[in-house]
Chains A and B, each alone.
Chain A
């Protein structure tokens, strides 16, 4: 049932971002699962993503992302994050290696393989994520860094800054901007707005906005 649930909720997008569904850190527990929907506006186009994640154990997850735009479903991305955690006092970190495959669910016939190498670390006050990835003709790096505030009653605010750089057959672009993340028990809300800092990409134009909400169980 849980597996079926996850498979039903996937995400999409014509531009595949490296973030795992719901966020890098959740769900971290055995047999945990989560779903997230996100609305993304970029290149004068609005895309709705459905994303799902299932955590077999902290070191092994499976994620699925399915985009939907202009009434059409895009190419889904299936990935298997493999993580190695280190917990030390008031600090937790992990290295991640994530093979992925983009499937031609949008009507094409091309399959793409991908691989991501990531590192994230979190203390009581600071969160950082570095993700270097390649998928199809795209290679990118994504950096999140910022402050964490927890109220001790089940809620946390993450105030982050994001830098995203991509290189593909169509050129290069670099986006940067603020990210706000709010947790309340098992609910997460994430909003990000990134400005175009550099654009030499014939397939990219303008800024980027994403707003999403997810739940983990």
Chain B
């Protein structure tokens, strides 16, 4: 199987894995860490965390901005490395 078609199918599969739960499962899709917090409070009623985050994003908007920033930085670096490699490969081809 050609490599590009392998990637295509794998990416399609990933999209399906993300979309299908949204379509087929009824749920609030809250974070699993919130559920864990609830489970802890259930096991130890009245539990208070003994340390709080030093800084918290002031709103959901700022939080999603920072999550997007994190993804963008990572994707940017990966894209740069892929581009750089292709540029080097093209130069090698031109030399030979």
Do A and B pair up? The answer is no
Chain A interfacial positions (CB closer than 8 Å to B)? none
